[in-house]
Amino acid sequence: MKTHILLVRHGKSTAADLGIVQGQGLDIPLTDEGRRQARRTGEFLAAYSLNKIYTSTAIRATDTARIIREYHQRVPYEELDELNERSKGVAEGMSKDAFDQKYPFIIEQWERGIDARPEGGESFEDVHHRVAPLFDQHVAESAPGQTLLYVIHGNVIRVLLGYILNIPHNRCHTIKQDYCAVNAMSFDHSRNRWEVEYVNRIFH
């Protein structure tokens, strides 16, 4: 028997329209387009029988989850700090152009495949240590046959996919995650292994 996992990125936030760096400390709401994306994704997910819905505490994730939950009103729901986006430290709120100008050495390290932290922020490895133990706990505690939905953030999803697929931390940034993308996988308890069904599918 298997535990089924759905990882959904939140809808488009106003930070994307403003061209600013967001992360864990900058709580930015969805745009009208982001809410439409969430609605269409919710319509797709309505066919699923869910046993638990998890999200981060960020408004862009909770608002996306709220729209999706309209189709699953009786499903238990929990907001968890551990699922918040990768922190970008002092860079949060800066324009992306200003970040590139102020921290060219960080950009250079990322381009060289180094899992560097922005000042006061997190690396992908840091996010892994925050998220993976919680994820393992949820899977271990779930009954085989259950389906868990996570409405979270692009970099958190990249870290979890990297964890499942054994992708090095410094390569997680190469995993594409569009707004409201759906990723489906399952853990086979009898074989003690993960199976990935699809990554970054769009239904809006």
Enumerate the active-site residues. 10, 85
Residue 147 belongs to what H/E stretch?
strand 147-152
Question: Which residues does 21 contact at the CB level (< 8 Å), separation at least 6?
Answer: 15, 88, 91, 92, 93, 94, 95, 96, 99
Task: Give the span between the Cα atoms of 11 and 60, in whole angstroms.
Answer: 7
HSE at residue 47, side-chain half, CA atoms within 13 A, is 4
Backbone angles phi, psi at 182, to 5 degrees: -110, 135
Handedness of CA 35, 37, 39, 42 (dihedral sign): negative
Query: Please, are residues 42 and 70 in contact by the beta-carbon 8 Å criterion?
Result: yes
